[in-house]
Amino acid sequence: MSEIASTLEILTRLIAFDTTSRNSNLELIEWVEDFLRARGVDSRRVANAEGTKANLYALVGPAVEGGVVLSGHTDVVPVDGQPWSSDPWVLTEREGKLYGRGVADMKSFVALALAHVDEALAAPLKRPLILAFSYDEEIGCLGAPSMIGEIVRETPKPSAVIVGEPTSMRVVSGHKGIRTFIVEVIGREAHSSLPDHGVSAVSEALKLMALVEQMAREAKGRRHAHFSPATMTIGRVDGGTAVNILARRCEFIWDLRTGDAASADAIEARFFAEAEKLDAEIKQRAPEGGVKITRRSRTPGLELDLGSEAEALARALTGDNDTQAAAYAAEAGLFQRAGLPAVICGPGSIEQAHQPDEWIEIAQVEEGAAFMRRLIGKLSA
């Protein structure tokens, strides 16, 4: 079977697993374990606290330093309410494109890594490939940190990490960090005709939501050498009981994406200060009320390190010499923070990610396969 046919066969299986982040990914992980076990490759799970999800990593080749990590996440975003032309959980080919949830972001990269295990095992590898597949990347890179920590502790130190987010097989040298916050505002219920008798949690929460929007507008005017301006968005709001009842509770979730930690720290500090003031004001009118902020995620950005081994390797494999940074967050910054140089490089385009009828060109899969062959050659040299 050709490597492309093998990749598509594996991709078909991966797409069939509904690994939307709200679901378990264990069926996919078990399938990958069986795939590797059949080839004599041992793998290690790193599960979440509840045992409902797991990361998986495996070393292919000699257990020596200088290996290359191929990192991909197994979860995908929901398809709810999206107008798909075909079943999102069935890999479908139309006019040179493959359709399905996760084909771009980022199961094609995972399929390519698995499809080249046989070639890697047959090659005279001097340094290993290390497969690293995570859970819950799409909701804040929550799964990878525990796996990265174990890789650092339990495997010979890798020289580079390639995170296969969709970049059209170009080298992306940096990405923004992301911080997400759940803000809960508690007020006091009262009849809406007597607003002075209570505290509307919705009205109070609007003050903090307005601050997020104001800071987002201000950020548009600040430029960074490589990144687009910082962004702040409110992704979800929930609150209130009825139109004629002052809301006792309102909750919203917002995210902050910046190219540097210093500006993120400043924005976060400003929000927390205003929330603290509002908390005190609410408690004066309703002692049982207030504002509670829960940090949902804090994923570091990938800082540009153009002289790293990961940069040199990815550029040698792709021939790409441009310097690019991504507005999205990814797991590369987590690897870098753990002392492992990282870049992002994978098949497909981020513009197709999260969309209805998500697709990837078959030509991108072919380019990814050529990249894998060249990588195995490098590790065998």
Q: What is the pLDDT along the chain (381 residues), one digit of tens a residue?
A: 688 999 999 999 999 999 999 999 999 999 999 999 999 999 999 999 999 999 999 999 999 999 999 999 999 999 999 999 999 999 999 999 999 999 999 999 999 999 999 999 999 999 999 999 999 999 989 999 999 999 999 999 999 999 999 999 999 999 999 999 999 999 999 999 999 999 999 999 999 999 999 999 999 988 777 788 999 999 999 999 999 999 999 999 999 999 989 999 999 999 999 999 999 999 999 999 999 999 998 999 999 999 999 999 999 999 999 999 998 999 999 999 999 999 999 999 999 999 999 999 999 999 999 999 999 999 999
Q: Which of 280, 299, 318 is the last residue of a domain?
A: 299
Q: Residue 127 corresponds to which amino acid?
A: R
Residue 178 pairs with which residues in a beta bridge?
257, 299
* Tally of domains within the chain: 2
In angstroms, the Cα distances linking 137 to 1, 3, 231, 342, 355 are 32, 27, 19, 16, 17
What's 7's DSSP letter?
A: H
The residues, any chain, with a CB within 8 Å of residue 178's CB and separated by 6 or more, are 140, 141, 255, 256, 257, 297, 298, 299, 329
Q: Indicate if 210 and 357 belong to the same structural domain.
A: no
Rounded CA separation 165/211 (Å): 32
Q: Which of 240, 270, 299 is the last residue of a domain?
A: 299
Cα Rg of the chain, angstroms? 23
Q: Indicate if 166 and 72 belong to the same structural domain.
A: yes
Q: Indicate if 30 and 160 belong to the same structural domain.
A: yes
Q: Indicate if 17 and 152 belong to the same structural domain.
A: yes
Give the helix/strand (H/E) hosting 279. Answer: helix 261-285
> Residue written as tokens 């594996």?
10
Q: Indicate if 53 and 122 belong to the same structural domain.
A: yes
60, 44 Cβ separation under 8 angstroms: no
What's 365's DSSP letter?
A: H
Q: Which of 299, 318, 348 is the last residue of a domain?
A: 299
Token pair belonging to 312 = 């040199």
How remote is the C-alpha of 50 from its chain's centroid?
21
In this structure, what CATH number is given to the domain that contains residue 222? 3.30.70.360
Tell me the backbone φ, ψ of residue 65, rounded to 5 degrees. Answer: -70, 165
pTM for this structure? 0.89
- Domain interval for residue 223: 177-299
Q: Indicate if 135 and 225 belong to the same structural domain.
A: no
Residue 245 pairs with which residues in a beta bridge?
191
What stretches of 20-115 adopt beta strand conformation (E)? Answer: 43-47, 54-60, 68-73, 92-94, 97-99
Rounded CA separation 301/187 (Å): 36
Q: Indicate if 13 and 117 belong to the same structural domain.
A: yes
Q: Indicate if 319 and 207 belong to the same structural domain.
A: no
Residue 236 pairs with which residues in a beta bridge?
253
Q: Indicate if 160 and 188 belong to the same structural domain.
A: no
Q: Residue 117 corresponds to which amino acid?
A: V
